[in-house]
């Protein structure tokens, strides 16, 4: 089978747009991505649209009402934090199968403020605090403590993730936050659930991102191979049974399964990646995923963040966009924003945050419930 | 708070059951095919080995060890903080989440032996009524 390419992509600046609608945010990102490819909605043969908050309300069709009702098939996806990546992967499947040559993939979300999480009630009765906690920060705090239990990882090491990713976002004009957060500021911020302070939790924002996915044949016909990025691997996994997973979600095993499958599909190893956008929904998660994605050995994530090698200019820059921690985490848009970032880097168009000479990069998202998507992309 | 009692009190977690003597306990399931112990309610098939219809209800142990935890300082509006959210591996199998009470955060250590206890709560407001919850305390012996 021939390869699949991303030939256009863009995102809106992540932020808070309470006066706008989901379809308006998604339409803006879609038009920007089409413009990037020099194409129009009439060129698209299908739309894959990821959104969580209005998953049962035909968001993809509503976007087409904004940008052109051409009658193409629309698939709306909802897959927790892997929603946008799932939409992108469905587009990849559509091209890979030979059914289509050109499809549009969109991820979009409007979020409220405040804590996310479930499990705070049973049979309609609130149980938060009475039967542990169901908030997302408490879950990822407990997972960070599990890492500390195994390897002695410290509060300070987790906090360094936020220092790094907030620094990266000062170089990204599409990020929600654009300010430095020194280590003391991160550690002294309001404690949410130890070891996570407020600056170690991702930002609930509104956002949208989109990508145009194309067959090899059509990419050549359109003369767009110069800026095209090849999809070397597209993997989606659900959570396998593990003993603790039913009581505290196990994001480690699912990510390891997805990463191993992605490396096998791409025929590359972790040592060949030149940048990664991974799911730093909380600072603890980034260190867990260094090991899960095999960019360091088990128990070495604390030392890796200390070394600075995952910062811009280091051996394997992680979340140079600012990540979910600082760029923001609009659930359904996050996966496609990761695609935008890595494609932009591989094209050499990332400006002040450009990873020099990057040719191969990875995107990773993992959502509660659970769902993990990994893509490996390569400059064509 | 009062001692658990039989009657209208309803469980605050799916795995809390009340036995014929009115005593609350944690119900788990053991797969007769692969031996795995689950602590979160029944399933049509064992999620580990996939064999259908072989999960048998068991009474889980009321002793266990602290696997991981966090001290929650901010929760949803109206929830009293701080509290300790714990994940406990029960002796004999099964892992249960719950609140750990009666221990200073500085005195908490991984693998510390814990006891499962129960209490009946009188709740007011929209969910008014009596409820049974489980919680964890440090095992002293």
A143 close to B (CB below 8 A): yes
The whole-model pTM stands at 0.96
List the single residue in B with minimal CA-CA distance to A152: B110
Is the pLDDT at B3 greater than 60, yes or no?
no
CATH number of A4-113+203-379: 3.40.47.10
pLDDT tens digits, residue range B42-90?
Answer: 899 999 999 999 999 999 999 999 999 999 999 998 899 999 999 999 9
**Could you count the other beta carbons within 10 Å of the beta carbon of residue A299?**
13
Q: Are strands B24-31 and B37-38 parallel, antiparallel or unpaired?
A: antiparallel
Which one of the listed residues A81, A214, A281, A296 is annotated catalytic? A81
CA distance B101 to chain A (A): 10
A150 close to B (CB below 8 A): no
List the single residue in A with minimal CA-CA distance to B41: A246
Is the pLDDT at B134 greater than 90, yes or no?
yes
| Average pLDDT, rounded, for chain B | 92
ipTM of the complex: 0.94
| Mean pLDDT for the stretch of residues A54-73 | 97
Q: Give residue A225's pLDDT.
A: 97
Q: Give residue A117's pLDDT.
A: 63
Is the pLDDT at A121 greater than 70, yes or no?
yes
Is the pLDDT at A115 greater than 90, yes or no?
no
B10 close to A (CB below 8 A): yes
Chain A residues inside the 8 Å CB shell of B119: none
Q: Give residue A282's pLDDT.
A: 98
B48 close to A (CB below 8 A): yes
Chain B residues inside the 8 Å CB shell of A133: 70, 72, 75, 83, 85
Q: Give catalytic status of residue A81 as yes or no.
A: yes
Q: A129 and B80 in contact by Cβ < 8 A?
A: yes
Contacts of B33 (CB under 8 A, 6+ apart): B46, B49, B51, B54
Chain A residues inside the 8 Å CB shell of B87: 132, 142, 244, 247-248
Enumerate the β-bridge partners of residue B137: B115
Contact between residue B23 and residue B4 where contact means Cβ atoms under 8 Å apart: yes
| Mean pLDDT for the stretch of residues A258-278 | 98
Confidence of residue B18 (pLDDT cuts 50, 70, 90): very high
Q: Give catalytic status of residue A105 as yes or no.
A: no
Q: Give residue A337's pLDDT.
A: 98
Domain boundaries defined on chain B: 10-138
**Could you count the other beta carbons within 10 Å of the beta carbon of residue A124?**
7
List the single residue in B with minimal CA-CA distance to A245: B95
Q: Give residue A358's pLDDT.
A: 97
Q: Give residue B109's pLDDT.
A: 96
Mutation test of the interface with chain A: which of B27, B31, B72, B95, choosing the one with the most A Cβ atoms within 10 A?
B72
pLDDT tens digits, residue range A30-60?
Answer: 999 999 999 999 999 999 999 999 999 999 9
Q: Give residue B123's pLDDT.
A: 85
Which one of the listed residues A147, A167, A168, A329 is annotated catalytic? A329
| Mean pLDDT for the stretch of residues A231-253 | 95
Contact between residue B49 and residue B34 where contact means Cβ atoms under 8 Å apart: yes
Question: B1 exposed, middle or buried (CB, 10 Å; 0-12, 13-18, 19+)?
Answer: exposed
Q: Give residue A120's pLDDT.
A: 64
Q: Measuring CA to CA, which residue among A231, A207, A228 is closest to residue A39?
A: A228
Helix (H, G, I), strand (E, B) or coil at B118: strand
Q: Measuring CA to CA, which residue among B92, B91, B110 is closest to residue B100?
A: B110
Q: Give residue B2's pLDDT.
A: 52
**Could you count the other beta carbons within 10 Å of the beta carbon of residue B51?**
13
Q: Give residue B6's pLDDT.
A: 44
B13 close to A (CB below 8 A): yes
A113 close to B (CB below 8 A): no
CA distance B73 to chain A (A): 5
pLDDT tens digits, residue range A338-371?
Answer: 999 999 999 999 999 999 999 999 999 999 999 9
A142 close to B (CB below 8 A): yes
| Mean pLDDT for the stretch of residues A224-241 | 97
Is the pLDDT at A303 greater than 90, yes or no?
yes
Confidence of residue A332 (pLDDT cuts 50, 70, 90): very high
| Average pLDDT, rounded, for chain A | 96
List the single residue in A with minimal CA-CA distance to B36: A243
Confidence of residue A113 (pLDDT cuts 50, 70, 90): low
Q: A194 and B105 in contact by Cβ < 8 A?
A: yes
How far apart are alpha carbons A49 and A364 in whole angstroms?
A: 18
Confidence of residue A118 (pLDDT cuts 50, 70, 90): low
Is the pLDDT at A310 greater than 90, yes or no?
yes
Is the pLDDT at A326 greater than 70, yes or no?
yes
| 3-class secondary structure per residue, chain A | CCCEEEEEEEECCCECCCCCCHHHHHHHHHHHHHHHHCCCHHHCCCEEEECCCCCCCCHHHHHHHHHCCCCCCEEEECECECHHHHHHHHHHHHHHCCCCCEEEEEEEECCCCCCCECCCEECCEECCCCCCCCEHHHHHHHHHHHHHHHHCCCHHHHHHHHHHHHHHHCCCCCCCCCCCCCHHHHHHCCEEECCEEHHHECCCCEEEEEEEEEEHHHHHHCCCHHHCEEEEEEEEEECCCCCCCCCCCCHHHHHHHHHHHHHHHHCCCHHHCCEEECCCCEHHHHHHHHHHCCCCCCCCHHHHHHHCCCCCCCCCCECCCCHHHHCCCCHHHHHHHHHHHHHHHHCCCCHHHCCCCCCEEEEEEEECCCEEEEEEEEEC
| Mean pLDDT for the stretch of residues A275-299 | 98
B124 close to A (CB below 8 A): no
Q: Give residue B5's pLDDT.
A: 44
B34 close to A (CB below 8 A): no
Chain B residues inside the 8 Å CB shell of A132: 85-87, 97-99
| Mean pLDDT for the stretch of residues A50-77 | 97
Q: A247 and B39 in contact by Cβ < 8 A?
A: yes
CA distance B76 to chain A (A): 7
Mutation test of the interface with chain B: which of A122, A126, A131, A248, choosing the one with the most B Cβ atoms within 10 A?
A131
B98 close to A (CB below 8 A): yes
């Amino acid at each position: 089978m021939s390869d699949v390419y991303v030939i256009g992509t863009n995102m809106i600046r992540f932020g808070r747009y309470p006066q706008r609608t989901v379809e308006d945010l998604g339409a803006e990102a879609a038009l920007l991505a089409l413009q990037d490819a020099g194409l129009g909605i009439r060129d698209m043969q299908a739309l894959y649209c990821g959104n969580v908050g209005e998953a049962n309300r035909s968001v993809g069709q509503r976007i087409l009402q904004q940008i052109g009702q051409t009658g193409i098939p629309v698939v709306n996806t909802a897959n927790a934090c892997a929603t946008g990546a799932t939409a992108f992967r469905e587009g990849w499947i559509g091209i890979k199968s030979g059914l289509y040559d050109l499809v549009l993939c969109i991820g979009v979300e409007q979020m409220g403020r405040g804590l996310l999480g479930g499990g705070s009630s049973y049979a309609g009765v609130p149980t938060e605090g009475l039967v542990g906690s169901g908030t997302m920060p408490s879950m990822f705090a407990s997972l960070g403590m599990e890492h500390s239990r195994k390897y002695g990882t410290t509060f300070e090491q987790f906090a360094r993730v936020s220092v790094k990713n907030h620094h990266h976002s000062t170089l990204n004009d599409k990020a929600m936050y654009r300010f430095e957060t020194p280590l003391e500021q991160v550690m002294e911020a309001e404690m949410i659930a130890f070891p996570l302070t407020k600056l170690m939790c991702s930002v609930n924002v509104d956002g949208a991102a989109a990508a145009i996915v194309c067959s090899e044949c059509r990419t050549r016909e359109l003369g767009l191979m110069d800026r095209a990025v090849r999809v070397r691997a597209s993997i989606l996994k659900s959570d396998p049974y593990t003993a603790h997973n039913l009581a505290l979600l196990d994001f480690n095993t699912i990510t390891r399964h997805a990463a191993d499958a992605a490396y096998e599909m791409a025929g590359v190893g972790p040592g060949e990646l030149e940048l990664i956008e991974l799911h730093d929904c909380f600072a603890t998660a980034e260190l867990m995923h260094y090991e899960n994605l095999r960019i360091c050995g088990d128990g070495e994530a604390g030392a890796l963040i200390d070394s600075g090698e995952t910062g811009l200019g280091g051996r394997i820059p992680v979340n140079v966009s600012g990540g979910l921690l600082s760029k923001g985490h609009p659930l359904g848009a996050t996966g496609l924003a990761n695609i935008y970032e890595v494609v932009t880097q591989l094209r050499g168009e990332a400006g002040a945050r450009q990873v020099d000479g990057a040719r191969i990069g990875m995107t990773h998202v993992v959502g509660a419930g659970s769902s993990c998507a990994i893509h490996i992309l390569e400059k064509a | 708070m009062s001692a658990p009692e039989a009657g209208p009190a309803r469980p605050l977690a799916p795995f809390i059951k009340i036995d014929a003597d009115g005593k609350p306990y944690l119900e788990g399931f053991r797969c007769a095919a692969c031996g795995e112990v689950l602590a979160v309610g029944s399933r049509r098939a064992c999620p580990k080995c996939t064999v259908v219809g072989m999960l048998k209800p068991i009474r889980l142990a009321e002793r266990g060890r602290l696997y991981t935890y966090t001290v929650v300082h901010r929760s949803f509006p109206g929830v009293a903080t701080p509290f300790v959210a714990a994940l406990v591996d029960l002796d004999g199998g099964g892992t249960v989440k719950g609140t750990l009470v009666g221990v200073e955060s500085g005195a908490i250590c991984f693998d510390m032996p814990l006891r499962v206890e129960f209490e009946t709560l009188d709740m007011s407001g929209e969910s008014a009524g009596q409820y049974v919850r489980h919680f964890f305390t440090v095992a002293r012996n």
